[in-house]
Protein backbone atom coordinates (compact mmCIF):
# COMPACT_ATOMS: atom_id res chain seq x y z
CA UNK A 1 0.00 0.00 0.00
CA UNK A 2 1.09 3.56 -0.57
CA UNK A 3 2.41 5.97 1.99
CA UNK A 4 0.33 6.94 5.05
CA UNK A 5 -1.60 3.68 4.80
CA UNK A 6 -3.97 5.18 2.29
CA UNK A 7 -5.38 2.69 -0.20
CA UNK A 8 -5.52 4.48 -3.55
CA UNK A 9 -7.96 3.11 -6.10
CA UNK A 10 -8.28 4.25 -9.71
CA UNK A 11 -11.74 3.65 -11.13
CA UNK A 12 -12.04 3.19 -14.88
CA UNK A 13 -15.74 2.75 -15.54
CA UNK A 14 -15.10 2.28 -19.25
CA UNK A 15 -17.80 1.56 -21.79
CA UNK A 16 -21.50 0.71 -21.87
CA UNK A 17 -22.74 -0.58 -18.55
CA UNK A 18 -19.20 -0.57 -17.09
CA UNK A 19 -19.58 2.77 -15.23
CA UNK A 20 -22.90 1.62 -13.70
CA UNK A 21 -21.50 -1.57 -12.24
CA UNK A 22 -18.28 0.14 -11.16
CA UNK A 23 -20.37 2.66 -9.21
CA UNK A 24 -22.21 -0.18 -7.43
CA UNK A 25 -18.91 -1.86 -6.62
CA UNK A 26 -17.55 1.37 -5.16
CA UNK A 27 -20.64 1.76 -2.95
CA UNK A 28 -19.80 -1.58 -1.39
CA UNK A 29 -16.15 -0.66 -1.18
CA UNK A 30 -16.98 2.53 0.72
CA UNK A 31 -19.29 0.68 3.11
CA UNK A 32 -16.57 -1.87 3.85
CA UNK A 33 -13.94 0.85 4.23
CA UNK A 34 -16.13 2.56 6.82
CA UNK A 35 -16.71 -0.65 8.77
CA UNK A 36 -13.06 -1.67 8.67
CA UNK A 37 -11.57 1.79 9.11
CA UNK A 38 -9.74 1.65 5.78
CA UNK A 39 -8.37 5.02 4.69
CA UNK A 40 -8.65 5.46 0.96
CA UNK A 41 -8.60 7.80 -2.00
CA UNK A 42 -10.31 7.15 -5.32
CA UNK A 43 -10.14 8.86 -8.66
CA UNK A 44 -12.30 8.30 -11.73
CA UNK A 45 -10.75 8.05 -15.18
CA UNK A 46 -12.93 8.44 -18.28
CA UNK A 47 -10.91 6.08 -20.50
CA UNK A 48 -12.94 4.08 -22.99
CA UNK A 49 -14.77 4.23 -26.29
CA UNK A 50 -16.46 7.61 -25.86
CA UNK A 51 -13.23 9.34 -25.01
CA UNK A 52 -11.51 7.58 -27.91
CA UNK A 53 -14.19 8.72 -30.36
CA UNK A 54 -13.87 12.28 -29.04
CA UNK A 55 -10.08 12.57 -28.87
CA UNK A 56 -8.67 9.77 -31.05
CA UNK A 57 -6.60 8.34 -28.22
CA UNK A 58 -7.30 5.44 -25.91
CA UNK A 59 -4.78 6.14 -23.16
CA UNK A 60 -3.60 9.76 -23.09
CA UNK A 61 0.04 10.70 -22.47
CA UNK A 62 0.99 10.23 -18.85
CA UNK A 63 -1.94 7.91 -18.09
CA UNK A 64 0.25 4.90 -17.25
CA UNK A 65 2.50 7.04 -15.04
CA UNK A 66 -0.49 8.40 -13.16
CA UNK A 67 -2.18 4.99 -12.78
CA UNK A 68 1.12 3.63 -11.47
CA UNK A 69 0.67 5.81 -8.38
CA UNK A 70 -2.45 3.82 -7.42
CA UNK A 71 -2.50 0.57 -5.47
CA UNK A 72 -5.24 -0.91 -7.59
CA UNK A 73 -7.53 -0.26 -10.52
CA UNK A 74 -11.21 -1.16 -10.72
CA UNK A 75 -12.25 -1.56 -14.34
CA UNK A 76 -15.92 -1.63 -15.38
CA UNK A 77 -15.82 -2.88 -18.97
CA UNK A 78 -14.30 -2.21 -22.37
CA UNK A 79 -16.06 -2.50 -25.73
CA UNK A 80 -17.96 0.13 -27.72
CA UNK A 81 -20.23 -0.61 -30.71
CA UNK A 82 -18.77 2.32 -32.75
CA UNK A 83 -15.13 1.35 -32.20
CA UNK A 84 -13.54 -1.41 -34.31
CA UNK A 85 -12.73 -4.66 -32.46
CA UNK A 86 -9.27 -4.69 -30.94
CA UNK A 87 -8.71 -0.97 -30.50
CA UNK A 88 -10.03 -0.67 -26.96
CA UNK A 89 -9.14 -4.24 -25.98
CA UNK A 90 -5.52 -3.80 -27.05
CA UNK A 91 -5.25 -0.08 -26.32
CA UNK A 92 -6.76 -0.16 -22.85
CA UNK A 93 -7.28 -3.58 -21.25
CA UNK A 94 -4.25 -5.40 -22.66
CA UNK A 95 -2.14 -2.23 -22.54
CA UNK A 96 -2.72 -1.97 -18.78
CA UNK A 97 -2.18 -5.69 -18.19
CA UNK A 98 1.16 -5.45 -19.99
CA UNK A 99 2.28 -2.04 -18.72
CA UNK A 100 1.79 -3.13 -15.10
CA UNK A 101 3.06 -6.66 -15.78
CA UNK A 102 -0.10 -8.15 -14.32
CA UNK A 103 1.06 -11.65 -15.04
CA UNK A 104 -1.66 -13.47 -13.13
CA UNK A 105 -5.25 -13.54 -14.32
CA UNK A 106 -7.15 -14.97 -11.38
CA UNK A 107 -10.64 -16.26 -12.08
CA UNK A 108 -12.50 -17.82 -9.16
CA UNK A 109 -15.35 -20.05 -10.34
CA UNK A 110 -17.86 -20.31 -7.54
CA UNK A 111 -21.55 -21.09 -7.74
CA UNK A 112 -23.22 -19.03 -5.03
CA UNK A 113 -26.16 -20.59 -3.19
CA UNK A 114 -29.44 -19.74 -4.91
CA UNK A 115 -27.81 -19.07 -8.29
CA UNK A 116 -28.84 -21.34 -11.15
CA UNK A 117 -26.24 -23.29 -13.12
CA UNK A 118 -26.97 -24.88 -16.50
CA UNK A 119 -25.41 -28.12 -15.21
CA UNK A 120 -28.06 -30.63 -14.16
CA UNK A 121 -27.61 -32.07 -10.70
CA UNK A 122 -24.70 -29.84 -9.65
CA UNK A 123 -24.75 -27.32 -6.83
CA UNK A 124 -22.51 -24.91 -4.89
CA UNK A 125 -20.49 -27.77 -3.38
CA UNK A 126 -19.62 -29.04 -6.85
CA UNK A 127 -18.73 -25.79 -8.61
CA UNK A 128 -15.94 -24.19 -6.64
CA UNK A 129 -12.57 -23.98 -8.31
CA UNK A 130 -10.09 -21.34 -9.43
CA UNK A 131 -8.37 -20.75 -12.76
CA UNK A 132 -4.93 -19.13 -12.72
CA UNK A 133 -4.33 -17.89 -16.24
CA UNK A 134 -0.99 -16.56 -17.44
CA UNK A 135 -1.74 -12.99 -18.53
CA UNK A 136 1.16 -11.51 -20.51
CA UNK A 137 2.35 -14.00 -23.16
CA UNK A 138 1.09 -16.57 -25.66
CA UNK A 139 -0.94 -15.36 -28.64
CA UNK A 140 -1.63 -12.15 -26.73
CA UNK A 141 1.93 -10.97 -27.36
CA UNK A 142 0.79 -9.05 -30.44
CA UNK A 143 3.51 -10.59 -32.60
CA UNK A 144 2.49 -11.32 -36.15
CA UNK A 145 1.76 -9.72 -39.46
CA UNK A 146 0.31 -9.95 -42.89
CA UNK A 147 1.82 -11.14 -46.13
CA UNK A 148 0.34 -9.63 -49.31
CA UNK A 149 -2.44 -8.09 -47.25
CA UNK A 150 -5.67 -7.52 -49.12
CA UNK A 151 -4.68 -9.65 -52.10
CA UNK A 152 -6.21 -12.96 -53.10
CA UNK A 153 -3.28 -14.95 -51.74
CA UNK A 154 -2.72 -13.05 -48.53
CA UNK A 155 -1.40 -14.71 -45.43
CA UNK A 156 -1.17 -13.89 -41.76
CA UNK A 157 0.83 -15.02 -38.76
CA UNK A 158 -0.11 -14.68 -35.08
CA UNK A 159 2.70 -15.93 -32.92
CA UNK A 160 2.36 -17.53 -29.52
CA UNK A 161 5.43 -16.84 -27.42
CA UNK A 162 6.17 -18.48 -24.08
CA UNK A 163 9.17 -17.73 -21.91
CA UNK A 164 10.64 -19.75 -19.06
CA UNK A 165 10.44 -16.72 -16.77
CA UNK A 166 6.86 -16.02 -17.84
CA UNK A 167 5.50 -19.50 -17.25
CA UNK A 168 7.59 -20.19 -14.18
CA UNK A 169 6.37 -17.15 -12.22
CA UNK A 170 2.78 -17.99 -13.05
CA UNK A 171 3.14 -21.68 -12.20
CA UNK A 172 4.92 -20.90 -8.92
CA UNK A 173 2.20 -18.43 -7.95
CA UNK A 174 -0.43 -21.09 -8.74
CA UNK A 175 1.32 -23.62 -6.49
CA UNK A 176 1.46 -21.07 -3.66
CA UNK A 177 -2.19 -20.26 -4.20
CA UNK A 178 -3.20 -23.94 -4.17
CA UNK A 179 -1.31 -24.46 -0.93
CA UNK A 180 -2.90 -21.40 0.72
CA UNK A 181 -6.38 -22.24 -0.55
CA UNK A 182 -5.91 -25.56 1.21
CA UNK A 183 -8.95 -27.25 -0.29
CA UNK A 184 -8.16 -30.36 -2.31
CA UNK A 185 -4.57 -29.18 -2.75
CA UNK A 186 -4.63 -30.29 -6.37
CA UNK A 187 -3.15 -28.19 -9.16
CA UNK A 188 -4.11 -29.15 -12.70
CA UNK A 189 -1.99 -27.91 -15.58
CA UNK A 190 -4.20 -27.38 -18.64
CA UNK A 191 -2.33 -27.23 -21.96
CA UNK A 192 -1.98 -29.11 -25.25
CA UNK A 193 1.34 -30.92 -24.99
CA UNK A 194 0.37 -33.47 -27.63
CA UNK A 195 0.31 -30.83 -30.38
CA UNK A 196 2.08 -27.71 -29.08
CA UNK A 197 5.28 -29.68 -28.66
CA UNK A 198 7.51 -26.62 -28.24
CA UNK A 199 5.68 -24.00 -26.19
CA UNK A 200 3.67 -26.38 -24.08
CA UNK A 201 6.66 -28.64 -23.62
CA UNK A 202 8.30 -25.64 -21.95
CA UNK A 203 5.22 -25.28 -19.72
CA UNK A 204 5.20 -28.99 -18.93
CA UNK A 205 8.87 -29.13 -17.96
CA UNK A 206 8.57 -25.96 -15.89
CA UNK A 207 5.51 -27.35 -14.12
CA UNK A 208 7.42 -30.54 -13.24
CA UNK A 209 10.40 -28.55 -11.95
CA UNK A 210 8.39 -26.17 -9.77
CA UNK A 211 6.27 -29.07 -8.45
CA UNK A 212 9.34 -30.43 -6.65
CA UNK A 213 9.17 -27.42 -4.32
CA UNK A 214 5.55 -28.27 -3.37
CA UNK A 215 5.43 -31.93 -2.33
CA UNK A 216 2.20 -31.21 -0.41
CA UNK A 217 0.36 -30.21 -3.61
CA UNK A 218 -0.98 -32.96 -5.87
CA UNK A 219 -0.14 -32.33 -9.52
CA UNK A 220 -2.34 -33.21 -12.41
CA UNK A 221 -2.49 -32.59 -16.15
CA UNK A 222 -5.38 -32.19 -18.64
CA UNK A 223 -5.28 -31.46 -22.33
CA UNK A 224 -7.43 -28.40 -22.87
CA UNK A 225 -10.05 -30.17 -24.98
CA UNK A 226 -10.50 -32.90 -22.38
CA UNK A 227 -10.66 -30.23 -19.67
CA UNK A 228 -13.69 -28.69 -21.45
CA UNK A 229 -15.43 -32.03 -21.28
CA UNK A 230 -14.55 -32.84 -17.66
CA UNK A 231 -15.36 -29.35 -16.45
CA UNK A 232 -18.95 -30.03 -17.53
CA UNK A 233 -19.07 -33.64 -16.43
CA UNK A 234 -17.22 -33.41 -13.08
CA UNK A 235 -16.60 -29.79 -12.09
CA UNK A 236 -16.16 -30.95 -8.49
CA UNK A 237 -12.90 -32.62 -9.53
CA UNK A 238 -11.12 -29.29 -9.96
CA UNK A 239 -9.42 -27.29 -7.24
CA UNK A 240 -6.94 -24.97 -8.99
CA UNK A 241 -6.16 -24.94 -12.71
CA UNK A 242 -3.08 -23.21 -14.12
CA UNK A 243 -3.03 -22.54 -17.83
CA UNK A 244 -1.75 -20.45 -20.71
CA UNK A 245 -3.24 -17.09 -21.70
CA UNK A 246 -5.29 -18.14 -24.76
CA UNK A 247 -6.63 -21.40 -23.35
CA UNK A 248 -7.31 -19.62 -20.08
CA UNK A 249 -9.40 -17.04 -21.89
CA UNK A 250 -11.54 -19.76 -23.44
CA UNK A 251 -12.00 -22.09 -20.48
CA UNK A 252 -12.86 -19.22 -18.12
CA UNK A 253 -15.89 -18.33 -20.23
CA UNK A 254 -16.96 -21.95 -20.07
CA UNK A 255 -16.36 -21.89 -16.34
CA UNK A 256 -18.17 -18.56 -16.02
CA UNK A 257 -21.40 -19.99 -17.33
CA UNK A 258 -21.19 -22.84 -14.80
CA UNK A 259 -21.24 -20.29 -12.00
CA UNK A 260 -24.37 -18.66 -13.36
CA UNK A 261 -23.09 -16.46 -16.15
CA UNK A 262 -20.81 -13.55 -16.82
CA UNK A 263 -22.81 -11.28 -14.50
CA UNK A 264 -21.43 -13.30 -11.61
CA UNK A 265 -17.83 -13.90 -12.75
CA UNK A 266 -15.04 -11.63 -11.51
CA UNK A 267 -11.39 -11.52 -12.40
CA UNK A 268 -8.17 -10.10 -11.08
CA UNK A 269 -5.21 -9.01 -13.19
CA UNK A 270 -2.55 -9.27 -10.56
CA UNK A 271 1.01 -8.12 -10.30
CA UNK A 272 1.93 -9.86 -7.05
CA UNK A 273 5.29 -8.11 -6.68
CA UNK A 274 5.69 -5.53 -3.88
CA UNK A 275 4.37 -2.20 -5.13
CA UNK A 276 2.69 -3.81 -8.13
CA UNK A 277 -0.51 -2.25 -9.48
CA UNK A 278 -3.25 -4.83 -9.94
CA UNK A 279 -6.55 -4.43 -11.77
CA UNK A 280 -9.90 -6.04 -10.96
CA UNK A 281 -12.90 -6.39 -13.23
CA UNK A 282 -16.28 -8.00 -13.66
CA UNK A 283 -16.04 -10.33 -16.67
CA UNK A 284 -19.37 -9.51 -18.26
CA UNK A 285 -18.31 -7.00 -20.89
CA UNK A 286 -19.90 -3.64 -21.66
CA UNK A 287 -23.37 -4.93 -22.73
CA UNK A 288 -24.02 -1.61 -24.55
CA UNK A 289 -27.68 -2.21 -25.31
CA UNK A 290 -28.48 -2.21 -21.59
CA UNK A 291 -26.64 1.04 -20.84
CA UNK A 292 -28.53 3.30 -18.47
CA UNK A 293 -31.16 0.71 -17.54
CA UNK A 294 -29.45 -0.40 -14.32
CA UNK A 295 -30.29 -4.02 -15.04
CA UNK A 296 -26.81 -5.54 -15.01
CA UNK A 297 -26.09 -7.75 -12.02
CA UNK A 298 -23.41 -5.90 -10.02
CA UNK A 299 -22.38 -8.97 -8.04
CA UNK A 300 -19.40 -9.64 -10.33
CA UNK A 301 -18.09 -6.12 -9.69
CA UNK A 302 -18.68 -6.52 -5.97
CA UNK A 303 -16.73 -9.78 -6.09
CA UNK A 304 -13.98 -7.93 -7.99
CA UNK A 305 -13.89 -5.35 -5.18
CA UNK A 306 -13.54 -8.21 -2.68
CA UNK A 307 -10.57 -9.53 -4.66
CA UNK A 308 -9.09 -6.03 -4.71
CA UNK A 309 -9.34 -5.77 -0.93
CA UNK A 310 -7.82 -9.20 -0.51
CA UNK A 311 -4.91 -8.37 -2.76
CA UNK A 312 -4.41 -5.12 -0.82
CA UNK A 313 -4.01 -7.20 2.32
CA UNK A 314 -7.49 -6.95 3.87
C1 LIG B 1 -10.99 -11.53 -20.78
C2 LIG B 1 -11.42 -10.86 -22.06
C3 LIG B 1 -10.21 -10.22 -22.75
C4 LIG B 1 -9.20 -11.30 -23.01
C5 LIG B 1 -10.54 -9.44 -24.04
C6 LIG B 1 -11.61 -8.40 -23.82
C7 LIG B 1 -9.30 -8.84 -24.65
O8 LIG B 1 -12.06 -11.74 -22.90
O9 LIG B 1 -10.49 -10.84 -19.88
O10 LIG B 1 -11.16 -12.74 -20.65
O11 LIG B 1 -9.24 -11.96 -24.04
O12 LIG B 1 -8.33 -11.49 -22.16
MN1 LIG C 1 -12.27 -13.70 -22.10
Judged against a pLDDT cut of 90, whether residue 218 lies above it is answered with: yes
Tell me, using a 6 A CB cutoff, whether residue 139 lines ligand 1: no
Tell me, using a 6 A CB cutoff, whether residue 250 lines ligand 1: no
pLDDT in tens, 77-108: 999 999 999 999 999 999 999 999 999 999 99
Distance CA 133, CA 247 (A): 8
Burial readout 65-88 (b: 16 or more C-beta within 10 A, e: otherwise): eebeebbbbbbbbbbbeebeeeeb
pLDDT value at residue 176: 98
CA 263 to chain centre: 14
161 and 21, same structural domain? no
CA atoms in the 13 A half-sphere facing the CB of 45: 23
* Domain hosting residue 213, numbered range: 103-270
CB atoms within 10 A of CB 168: 16
Q: Name the residue at shortest CA distance from atom 1 of ligand 1.
A: 249
70 and 21, same structural domain? yes
Query: Is 221 known to be catalytic?
Result: no
- Round the average pLDDT of the chain to a whole number and report it: 96
113 and 230, same structural domain? yes
- From the list 15, 110, 128, 140, the catalytic residue is 140
Burial readout 283-297 (b: 16 or more C-beta within 10 A, e: otherwise): bbbbbbeebeeeebb
Among 270, 287, 304, residue at a domain's last position:
270
Query: Is 192 known to be catalytic?
Result: yes
Distance CA 202, CA 261 (A): 33
258 and 128, same structural domain? yes
151 and 247, same structural domain? yes
Among 270, 286, 303, residue at a domain's last position:
270
pLDDT in tens, 15-61: 999 999 999 999 999 999 999 999 999 999 999 999 999 999 999 99
pLDDT in tens, 231-285: 999 999 999 999 999 999 999 999 999 999 988 999 999 999 999 999 999 999 9
301 and 175, same structural domain? no
147 and 260, same structural domain? yes
**Considering its fold, how many domains does the chain have in total?**
2
123 and 263, same structural domain? yes
Ligand nearest to the CA of 135: 1
Angle at 47 between CA 88 and CA 295, to 5 degrees: 85
pLDDT in tens, 116-148: 999 999 999 999 999 999 999 999 999 999 999
CATH code of the domain in which 56 resides: 3.40.718.10
Closest atom of ligand 1 to 245 CA is: 12
Q: Name the residue at shortest CA distance from atom 2 of ligand 1.
A: 249
Using the mean position of ligand 2's atoms as its centre, give its distance from the Cα of residue 13 in Å.
18
Query: Is 126 known to be catalytic?
Result: no
- From the list 46, 112, 253, 290, the catalytic residue is 253
54 and 203, same structural domain? no
- The answer to whether 149 and 141 are in contact (CB under 8 A) is no
280 and 262, same structural domain? no
23 and 126, same structural domain? no
pTM value surpassing 0.85: yes
pLDDT value at residue 2: 54
Tell me, using a 6 A CB cutoff, whether residue 90 lines ligand 1: no
Using the mean position of ligand 2's atoms as its centre, give its distance from the Cα of residue 165 in Å.
24
Using the mean position of ligand 1's atoms as its centre, give its distance from the Cα of residue 19 in Å.
18
205 and 190, same structural domain? yes
Judged against a pLDDT cut of 70, whether residue 74 lies above it is answered with: yes
Tell me, using a 6 A CB cutoff, whether residue 246 lines ligand 1: no
Amino acid sequence: MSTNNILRIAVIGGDGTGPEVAAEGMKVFKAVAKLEGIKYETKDFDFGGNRYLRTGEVLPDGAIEELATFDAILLGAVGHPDVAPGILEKGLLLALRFAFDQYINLRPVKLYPGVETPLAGKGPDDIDFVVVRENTEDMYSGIGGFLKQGTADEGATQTAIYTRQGCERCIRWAFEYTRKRNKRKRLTLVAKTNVLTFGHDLWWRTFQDVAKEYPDVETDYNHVDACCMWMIKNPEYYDVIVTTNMFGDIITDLAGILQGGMGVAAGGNINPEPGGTSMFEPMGGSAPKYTGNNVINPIATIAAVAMLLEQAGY
